[in-house]
């Protein structure tokens, strides 16, 4: 049983004040509100968020840059603290914020896999078998024995997907990196990704791509300026989001017109 | 049995982390002919140089003085790593840790095991040298090694978190900590001994807490006579630092990860 429950959660980032900070409160087209504190600048990345994600949910996150998607993912992964509210997370979380995060670039695929097994608590007696399993799954062949900084993006994707499948996290958290992979490679890693997502009890995926979201999620959460603007079936929420984007784009064009 | 069941997961995690430290340390020396052996070798070479240059009394045989310095230097390296190696743990390693199923506390536990791995390698060489040259010194003192280890683990863990939180809040402290550690190296009886009851050295040895840790470390390996005061001060300091670290963690855990 895996679940994520957030109740009225607020998350802020803190930055040290440097020089004249009076202009930092100016609101732009993107990003959360910046508050000038006594010693620090506070970026109110998430404000009063409440969301419940249960077993079997496949949730996508959309929103403009700085809307709070990555912050919400990091909060669920335990990479960020929260300043108010209540957070309850049950189940092993397996985050992947960027392609290759959590790996040592100077180590080979084999060594990285051994390390991953050790970190994830795989019994010592099973490590060798699991390493071979990842090697086979990734299809990297001899490259598995080379440092991963020598891999192409596609090779790294293969290794990461295979490792993620190995660790079998109940809650799978993925940021937009999967879209960044060359579309021609998407087909090759797609099979691995499907297996990975099928095994996860919960998927949370942030993306700007409708294609990617429609492929992997059925529920969509639209974030705007650190708040949830809409939460529901992907078709409805994405339509609403798209309309809002179009209107926003129209207003901007009108403003820019001579 | 109940106690064993309780401590077993922690022991298992420690062994696992030691294995990780081994792989990572091996990688750091990959391509080098001596590989991992460079860790004790560099400590040996540096200690030999210190002993050669700073032996201030012909009354103490050179070999004996070398062991005195080596034991001090091995422990000093652990102290120094605990402090200078902890200035940016959260800032630079939390992301890696989160991707590997480690919490904030787990990350500090992992870095502690990294330091212990290096310390154990050096201590292994130290014990070997004492066994070869001064076997009679190795005795009941070794029984004090587990409590000594517990005390330095507490101090290292607490000190490490305190150092990191201070540098997160006050970035200038990063440089100050490094300069301070260099100063403390000279202000602690690592390569000099307290052979008088007055003067600067006696003053430093009296008011510098590291001096008591160094004395306790040497007493474990029979390189100094047993002094209960050293152990009392070491224990008191360790519990104090661990408590301060714990309180700092309790009050900062909700925001420390959110500093950019």
**Residue that wins the pLDDT comparison between B246 and A248:** B246
Mean per-residue pLDDT of chain A: 84
Q: What angle do CA B65, B231, B74 make, to 5 degrees?
A: 40
Res. A182: pLDDT tops 60: no
**In angstroms, what separates the C-alpha of B137 from chain A's closest C-alpha?**
38
Q: Taking residues B144-161, what's their average pLDDT?
A: 96
Query: CA-to-CA distance for B89 and B165, rounded, in angstroms?
Result: 10
Considering only residues A239 and A160, tell me which one the structure prediction assigns the higher pLDDT. A239
Cα–Cα distance measured from residue A95 to residue A102, given in angstroms and rounded to the nearest whole number: 9
How many Å apart are CA A134 and CA A144, to the nearest integer? 9
More confident residue, B197 or B230: B230
A127 contacts chain B (CB < 8 A): no
User: If you measure CA to CA, which chain B residue comes closest to A160?
Assistant: B99
Give the model's pLDDT for residue A120: 86
Predicted local distance difference test score (pLDDT) of residue A27: 63
* Residue B134, pLDDT score: 82
- Give the lowest-confidence range in A129-133, A160-164, B103-107: A160-164
% of chain A exceeding 70 in pLDDT? 84
| Cα distance between residue A249 and residue B201, in whole Å | 74
User: Quick one: which of B235, B194, B218, B102 has its CA closest to A77?
Assistant: B102
Judged against a pLDDT cut of 80, whether residue A31 lies above it is answered with no
Span B190-215, average pLDDT = 85
pLDDT of B213 reads 96
- pLDDT band with cut points at 50, 70 and 90 for residue A23: low
pLDDT exceeds 90 at position A34: no
In the structure, what pLDDT confidence band is assigned to residue A195 with cuts at 50, 70 and 90? confident
**A84-90/A3-16 β-pairing:** antiparallel
Check whether B224 has a pLDDT greater than 80: yes
Rg of chain B taking only CA atoms, in angstroms: 19
Higher-scoring residue by pLDDT: B236, A179: B236
Interface confidence: ipTM more than 0.90: no
- Produce one character per residue of B110-129: b if its CB has 16 or more CB atoms within 10 Å, e if not: bbbbbbbbbbbbbbebbeeb
> In this model, does residue B205 exceed pLDDT 90?
no
CA–CA separation, B122 vs A222, rounded Å?
Answer: 55
Most confident of A18-32, A95-109, B141-155: B141-155
DSSP assignment string, B90-127: HHHHHHHHHHTT--HHHHHHHHHHHHHHHHHHHHHHHH
Q: Answer with the residue of higher pLDDT: A138 or A38.
A: A138
Tens digits of residue pLDDT in B64-114 = 899 999 999 999 999 999 999 999 899 889 989 998 888 899 999 999 999
Distances (CA, A) of A69 to A63, A154, A208, B239: 7, 25, 10, 42
Q: Which tokens sit at A239?
A: 């339509």
Chain B residue with the nearest C-alpha to that of A95: B99
In chain A the domains, ranked by start, together with CATH numbers, are 55-79+93-256 (3.40.50.300)
| pLDDT given at position B7 | 85
B23 CB near a chain A CB, below 8 Å? yes
pLDDT band at A249 (very low <50, low <70, confident <90, very high): confident
Q: What is the mean pLDDT of residues A149-178?
A: 81
Query: φ and ψ at B254, to 5 degrees?
Result: -80, -20
A118 to B27: CB separation less than 8 angstroms, yes or no: no
Rounded mean pLDDT, A216-241: 92
Dist. CA A74–CA A72, nearest whole Å: 5
Minimum mean pLDDT range among A151-155, A188-192, B66-70, B169-173 = A188-192
Residues of B in contact with A226 (CB under 8 A): none
Q: What is the pLDDT of residues A70-114, one digit of tens each?
A: 999 999 998 899 999 999 999 888 888 877 788 999 899 999 999
Q: Are A107 and B259 an interchain contact pair (Cβ–Cβ within 8 Å)?
A: no
Residues of B in contact with A92 (CB under 8 A): 101
Q: Evaluate whether A70 touches A1 at the Cβ level (below 8 Å).
A: no
Return the pLDDT at A42.
86
Assess whether pLDDT exceeds 60 at residue B135: yes
Q: What average pLDDT does range A216-231 have in this prediction?
A: 92
A-to-B residue pairs, Cβ atoms closer than 8 angstroms: 81
Residue A158: predicted pLDDT: 84
């Amino acid at each position: 049983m895996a679940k994520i429950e957030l109740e009225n959660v607020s998350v802020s980032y803190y930055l040290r004040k440097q020089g004249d900070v009076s202009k930092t409160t100016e609101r732009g087209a993107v990003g959360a509100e910046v508050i000038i504190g006594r010693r620090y600048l506070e970026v109110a990345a998430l404000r009063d968020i409440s969301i419940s994600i249960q077993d079997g949910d496949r949730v996508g996150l959309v929103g403009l840059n700085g809307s709070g998607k990555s912050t919400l993912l990091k909060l669920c992964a335990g990479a960020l603290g929260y300043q108010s509210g209540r957070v309850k997370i049950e189940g092993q979380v397996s985050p992947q914020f960027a392609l290759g995060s959590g790996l040592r670039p100077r180590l080979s695929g084999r060594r990285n896999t051994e390390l991953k097994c050790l970190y994830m608590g795989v019994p010592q007696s099973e490590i060798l078998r699991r390493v071979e399993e990842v090697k086979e799954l990734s299809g990297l062949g001899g490259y598995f024995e080379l440092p991963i900084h020598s891999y192409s993006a596609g090779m790294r994707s293969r290794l990461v997907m295979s490792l993620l499948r190995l660790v079998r996290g109940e809650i799978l958290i993925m940021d937009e990196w999967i879209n960044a992979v060359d579309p021609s490679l998407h087909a090759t890693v797609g099979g691995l990704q499907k297996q990975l997502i099928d095994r996860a009890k919960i998927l949370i995926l942030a993306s700007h791509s409708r294609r990617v979201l429609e492929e992997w999620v059925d529920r969509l959460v639209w974030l705007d300026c650190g708040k949830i603007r809409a939460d529901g079936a992907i078709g409805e929420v994405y339509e609403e989001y798209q309309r809002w984007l179009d209107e926003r784009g129209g207003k901007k064009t009108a403003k820019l017109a001579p | 049995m109940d106690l064993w069941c309780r401590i077993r997961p922690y022991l298992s995690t420690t062994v696992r982390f030691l294995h990780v430290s081994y792989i990572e340390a091996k990688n750091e020396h990959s391509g080098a002919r001596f590989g991992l052996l460079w860790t004790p070798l560099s400590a040996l070479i540096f200690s030999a140089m210190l002993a050669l240059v700073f032996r201030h009394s012909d009354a103490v045989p050179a070999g004996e003085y070398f062991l005195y310095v080596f034991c001090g230097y091995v422990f000093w390296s652990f102290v120094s790593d605990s402090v200078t190696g902890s200035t940016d743990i959260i800032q630079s390693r939390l992301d890696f840790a989160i991707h590997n199923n480690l919490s904030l506390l787990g990350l500090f536990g992992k870095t502690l095991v990294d330091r212990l791995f290096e310390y154990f390698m050096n201590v292994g060489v130290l014990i070997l040298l004492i066994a070869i040259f001064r076997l009679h010194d190795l005795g009941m003192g070794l029984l004090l090694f587990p409590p000594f280890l517990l005390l330095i683990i507490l101090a290292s863990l607490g000190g490490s978190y305190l150092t990191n939180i201070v540098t997160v809040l006050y970035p200038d402290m990063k440089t100050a900590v490094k300069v301070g550690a260099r100063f403390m190296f000279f202000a602690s009886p690592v390569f000099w001994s307290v052979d008088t009851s007055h003067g600067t050295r006696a003053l430093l040895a009296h008011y510098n807490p590291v001096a008591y840790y160094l004395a306790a470390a040497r007493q474990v390996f029979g390189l100094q006579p047993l002094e209960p005061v050293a152990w009392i001060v070491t224990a008191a300091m360790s519990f104090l630092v661990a408590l301060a670290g714990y309180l700092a963690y309790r009050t900062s855990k909700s925001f420390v990860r959110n500093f950019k």
